[in-house]
């Protein structure tokens, strides 16, 4: 496929085929999520796989469809990649701490 000026400026974005592949993976994960929720599991066996699949779907959409993976590479950087990853981890930790503080009446 011809290389466009846009591709040059924004790094190599996925091809159409790759977009379709990401979509198929997302649909498969959604189907497994729904099936898992109907299997009668309880507690961590139910919740942890659902959260893992949700996280994978989150990063697939953000990384491929939102071009975050390619834009972070373009932002030169390890610095930005680590800053972004650090911010996500920090936000998740704060979120978990707040929820836990209510749950356990801290």
Residue ranges in 43-102 that form contacts with other proteins under rule CB under 8 A: 46-47, 50-51, 53-54, 57-58, 61-62, 64-67, 71, 74-76, 80, 91, 95, 98-99, 102
CA 30 → CA 5, 17, 19, 58, distances in Å? 35, 20, 17, 11
**Residues shown for the chain:** 106
How far is C-alpha 72 from the chain's CA centre? 14
Can you tell me which residue has the tokens 């979120």? 95
Residues 19-38 that bind other proteins (CB under 8 A): 19-20, 22-23, 26-27, 30, 33-34, 36-38
Q: CA-CA distance, 46 to 43, in Å (whole number)? A: 6
- Residue 18 CB, nearest distance to other proteins (Å)? 10
Count the alpha carbons within 13 Å of 35 in the hemisphere toward its beta carbon.
7
Q: Which residues bind other proteins (CB under 8 A)?
A: 2-10, 13-14, 16, 19-20, 22-23, 26-27, 30, 33-34, 36-38, 46-47, 50-51, 53-54, 57-58, 61-62, 64-67, 71, 74-76, 80, 91, 95, 98-99, 102-103
């Amino acid at each position: 496929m011809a290389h466009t000026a846009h591709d040059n400026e924004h790094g190599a974005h996925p091809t159409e085929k790759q977009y379709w592949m990401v979509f198929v993976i997302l649909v498969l994960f959604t189907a497994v999520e729904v099936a898992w929720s109907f299997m009668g599991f309880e507690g961590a066996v139910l919740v942890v796989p659902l959260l893992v699949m949700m996280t994978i779907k989150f990063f697939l959409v953000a990384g491929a469809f939102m071009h975050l993976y390619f834009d972070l590479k373009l932002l030169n950087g390890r610095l930005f990649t680590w800053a972004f990853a650090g911010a996500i981890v920090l936000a998740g930790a704060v979120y978990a701490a707040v929820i836990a503080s209510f749950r356990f009446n801290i």
